[in-house]
Amino acid sequence: MKYLDEYRDSDKAKLLVDAIHKKVTKKWSIMEICGGQTHSIVKYGIDDLISPNINLIHGPGCPVCVTPIEKIDKAIEIASKANVIFCSFGDMLRVPGSNTDLLKLKAVGSDVRIVYSPVDAVQIAKQNPDKEVVFFAVGFETTAPPNAQAVFIAHQQGVMNFSVLVSHVLVPPAIKAILDSKNNLVQGFLAAGHVCTVMGYKEYEEIVSKYKIPIVVTGFEPVDILQGILMCVSQLEEGRHEAENQYSRVVTREGNAKAMEVMYEVFEICERKWRGIGEIKKSGFRLKEKYSDYDAELKFGVVNYSVEESGECISGLILQGIKKPVDCPVFGTKCNPEHPFGATMVSTEGACSAYYLYKEKKL
Amino acid sequence: MDKKENTTGMMSCPLPISDYDAITMAHGGGGKMMNNLIEKMIMHYLSNNMTSEKHDGAVFNVEGHRLAFTTDSYVVNPVFFPGGNIGELAVYGTVNDLSMCGAKPLYLSLGLILEEGFLIKDLEKIIISIRDACERTGTQIITGDTKVVDKGKGDGIFINTAGIGIVREDINVSPSRVEGGDVIIVNGDIGRHGIAIMTTRENLDIESTILSDCAPLNHVVQKLIDAGIGIHCLRDLTRGGLGSSVNEIASQSQYEIEIEEKSIHVLEEVRGVCEILGFDPIYVANEGRFIAIVKKEDAGKTLEILKKEDDGKYASIIGVVKGKNKKGLVTLKNLMGSNRILDMLSGEQLPRIC
């Protein structure tokens, strides 16, 4: 399959692995931002292939993982209401709230539906004028434009029985928070290719010069990731710190202007709590005042929630690279994909879940 | 102290109650949750010396004859899908389960649960395809039952078929016969049925030409038997796909199995849809695919027979049975050449966010 097979080619991968080995002279810690990259790294055993001098730290870029448990509880409360059709991307359904999850809610009769595009949820609202249709607007900058588009269309067409439960997060503030942490170990980043498809990588230029740290926009296939690592390691070894683009077949420096236009029309930047990390300033999107009629939290009055995370979960430390999943005493035993304790186990793209699935469980 | 009578002691469910108060779709997904339900609840109460084999059907002796018996229910939506319909599926599925026991399928029962409002012309189409499927497999429907439920209490049509077949005295196909060094062979490309169904479901606007691989396996299994292949185990790759079937066999036989990813063929179009949805084709359902675990020296001959089949172009050797392993470890040698765990599917595969 074009654009995939050539990036899963083991010969090309071997050449890159060798090149990385040759380049590395000392220990480096590199964080891949995106859960999709973590998934590929563990699935293809990239961390075992490359030089042991490179410590890959699995970053916070899985939107399912970092959605705060309070939001899940709000989703569950809204979806439990009799006249609500609750729409979501598929992988949010399994994520446990304090007491239950959306899949179990569906099993006991709530109308919970998987949609493939948020605009489909607007369509469902139009087909069901006597129901309230709520879409769970989760994700990074990647899903923000289509989610904004759904709200924009509903507003334009006067679809008033549609609303969104927003839990959007942004990558650059998370990178800054990691770098500002006194425990930071990260010396270079592989930025998330799909986020940059929308946003470009212009905004990383300020970060690389302020923090003197390399950032390489990287794709998701094994060859992409190995090439991203090589580019990052080359910068580190050569004492450079630049924003570079490995994923140039998709990403431009400026990003997708049209996507950003609708995103900023509908959303504005706000504080956001990240599961496993805590609140990060200016790290999320919320609906602008103009679109507040489409805010499900206001519509259903589910504004103030506070939930304590499991004390046994170390996902915050894993997301900062201080610990690995296998360092956790409950990993693979009490905490597993069927009964996740925290952020990094809830989605297949979380580091703990990827380790459990592909690596450490039985070996 | 509260003297309320403890009525739950005897009836308490062995599945941890905090997990699930109600059945979810994942309990029928062919993965870990379904296995847990079967193992921890159904088998907990109903197991006996006949069910311990955990095979696709039961094989037993009746007055000197070795018989195989199986049952399966069909609840596919849509009822008519690209490459087949629920009727032929209900015949082939049960015939295939018998074939996986090494049996020659003979007779089937047909139970129809029809929802009020289901179109007679659609029912007729289904019945005709049941007839054709019986002709193709050399089986007969010899008993049946029809029930109608109120509108909204069914999904158009549900079908249950049970089947009975005869097993040759010298044939013993079962996970317990798996041995170190055995070779694992699949009879073609994987993932077509599940993706054909997915792409026709409402609210997924993907146009494709992918047809279900829905097909009977009894004739090809018979050819393997007739050729004197040392078949140790057979398993069809239905719900949960290849990944779950291999895991089932590994854990039932208590052997480690190693699968090689590059030997598994997935059609380009199936791969494309899987990429879009974030599915792994290794866990996608098939209805005409099976793995044969055979003696190493018979691998070549087995492959030759499988490749000669109409839909057998992509039959291939995909793995080997390694040493004894109590946990039934399955590893996948991936495209990069490193090994990873290939676990049983946990819950349903759900389309991802991005």
- Residue B273's CATH number: 3.90.650.10
Strand partners of residue B236: B290
Task: Name residue B172's amino acid.
Answer: N
Strands A132-139 and A84-88 come out as parallel
- Given B167, B191, B214, the domain boundary residue is B167
Q: Is residue B139 within 8 Å of B90, Cβ to Cβ?
A: no
Q: Do B319 and B283 fall into the same domain?
A: yes
Q: What are phi and psi of B335, to 5 degrees?
A: -60, -25
pLDDT digits (tens, 9 = 90+) for B166-179: 999 999 999 999 99
Angstrom CA distances, A99 to A55, A69, A77, B17, B26, stand at: 36, 10, 11, 13, 18
- When pLDDT is cut at 50, 70 and 90, the band that residue B15 belongs to is very low
Q: Do B194 and B287 fall into the same domain?
A: yes
CA neighbor of B353 nearest in space, from A286, A8, A34, A33: A34
Please report how many Cα atoms fall inside a 13 Å half-sphere around the Cα of residue B122, on the Cβ side.
Answer: 14
pLDDT digits (tens, 9 = 90+) for A167-221: 999 999 999 999 999 889 999 999 999 999 999 999 999 999 999 999 999 999 9
Q: Is residue A145 within 8 Å of A263, Cβ to Cβ?
A: yes
Give dist(CA A8, CA A24) in Å, integer: 23
Q: In the prediction, which pLDDT does B300 show? A: 97
For chain B, what is the mean pLDDT? 90
| Structural domains counted in chain B | 2
Q: In the prediction, which pLDDT does B4 show? A: 40
pLDDT at residue B242 greater than cutoff 70: yes
Give dist(CA A110, CA B24) in Å, integer: 12
Closest CA in chain B for residue A337: B346
Encoding tokens for residue B314? 């992509």
Q: Is residue A262 within 8 Å of A148, Cβ to Cβ?
A: yes
Superfamily of domain A65-170+259-299: HypD, alpha/beta domain 2 (3.40.50.11740)
Strands B157-167 and B65-74 come out as antiparallel
Q: Do B352 and A63 touch (CB under 8 A)?
A: no
Task: With both helix axes pointing from N to C terminus, report the angle between A35-43 and A222-238 in degrees, rounded to the nearest 10.
Answer: 100
Start-to-end CA distance of chain B, whole Å, equals 54
Q: Which residues form the domain of B260?
A: 175-341
- Given B150, B167, B184, the domain boundary residue is B167
Q: In the prediction, which pLDDT does B354 show? A: 61
Mark B290-329 as b/e (b = at least 16 C-beta within 10 Å).
bbbbbeeebbeebbebbeebebbebbbbbbbbbeebeebb
Q: In the prediction, which pLDDT does B18 show? A: 38
Give dist(CA B28, CA B236) in Å, integer: 16
Q: In the prediction, which pLDDT does B353 show? A: 66
Q: In the prediction, which pLDDT does B3 show? A: 38
Vertex B147 angle, CA B145 and B150, to 5°: 170
Strand partners of residue A218: A192
Q: In the prediction, which pLDDT does A142 show? A: 95
Task: With both helix axes pointing from N to C terminus, report the angle between B299-307 and B218-226 in degrees, rounded to the nearest 10.
Answer: 140
Classify residue B24: in a domain, yes or no. no
Mean pLDDT of A23-27: 97
Classify residue B352: in a domain, yes or no. no
Q: Do B334 and B221 fall into the same domain?
A: yes
Helices of type H across chain B: 8-11, 32-36, 43-46, 86-99, 120-137, 192-200, 218-226, 241-253, 268-277, 299-307
Q: Based on the number of CB atoms within 10 Å of its own CB, is A130 exposed (0-12), middle (13-18) or buried (19 or more)?
A: exposed
A5-62+180-245 belongs to CATH 3.40.50.11750: yes
* Domains A5-62+180-245 and A65-170+259-299 fall in the same CATH topology: yes
Q: Do A357 and B272 touch (CB under 8 A)?
A: no
**Which residue is listed with tokens 């009894």?**
B218
Residues 68-107 of A with CB under 8 A from B: 89-94, 103-104, 106-107
- Given B138, B167, B196, the domain boundary residue is B167
Angstrom CA distances, B40 to A114, B14, B17, B176, B327, stand at: 29, 6, 12, 21, 17
For chain A, what is the mean pLDDT? 93
Classify residue B34: in a domain, yes or no. no
Q: Which residues of B touch A89 (CB under 8 A)?
A: 351-353
Q: Do A359 and B340 touch (CB under 8 A)?
A: yes
pLDDT digits (tens, 9 = 90+) for A103-123: 889 988 999 999 988 999 999
Classify residue B57: in a domain, yes or no. yes
pLDDT digits (tens, 9 = 90+) for B122-157: 999 999 999 999 999 999 999 999 999 999 999 999
Q: Do B189 and B150 fall into the same domain?
A: no
Q: In the prediction, which pLDDT does B21 show? A: 77
Classify residue B187: in a domain, yes or no. yes
pLDDT digits (tens, 9 = 90+) for A310-324: 788 898 888 878 889
CATH code of the domain containing B66: 3.30.1330.10
**Which residue is listed with tokens 């580019």?**
A231
3-class state of residue B83 by DSSP: coil
pLDDT digits (tens, 9 = 90+) for A247-270: 999 999 999 999 999 999 999 999
Of B338, B350, B352, the CB nearest to A45: B338
Q: DSSP secondary structure string, B64-80?
A: TEEEEEEEEEE--SSSE
Q: Do B292 and B221 fall into the same domain?
A: yes
- When pLDDT is cut at 50, 70 and 90, the band that residue B36 belongs to is confident
Mean pLDDT of B296-314: 97
Residue B146 makes CB contacts below 8 A (sequence gap 6+) with B111, B112, B114
Q: Is residue A35 within 8 Å of A350, Cβ to Cβ?
A: yes
Of B32, B275, B350, the CB nearest to A91: B350
**Residue B351 or residue B119, greater confidence:** B119
Q: What are phi and psi of B341, to 5 degrees?
A: -75, 140
Neighbour tally for A355: CB within 10 Å: 24
Of B24, B337, B340, the CB nearest to A107: B24
**Residue A34 or residue B51, greater confidence:** A34
Q: Do B304 and B181 fall into the same domain?
A: yes
CA neighbor of B325 nearest in space, from B214, B143, B178, B202: B178
Please tell me the pTM assigned to this model.
0.86
Q: Do B155 and B192 fall into the same domain?
A: no
Strand partners of residue B105: B165
Classify residue B17: in a domain, yes or no. no
Strand ranges of the sheet holding B290-294, from the earlier edge strand across to the other edge? B231-236, B290-294, B183-186, B316-324, B255-260, B330-333, B339-341
Interface of B with A (CB under 8 A): 19-26, 32-33, 203-205, 268, 271-272, 275, 277-278, 327, 329, 334-341, 343, 346-347, 350-354
| Domain boundaries of chain A, sorted by first residue | 5-62+180-245, 65-170+259-299, 315-358
Q: Do B157 and B206 fall into the same domain?
A: no
Classify residue B35: in a domain, yes or no. no
pLDDT at residue A36 greater than cutoff 80: yes
Give dist(CA B131, CA B169) in Å, integer: 30
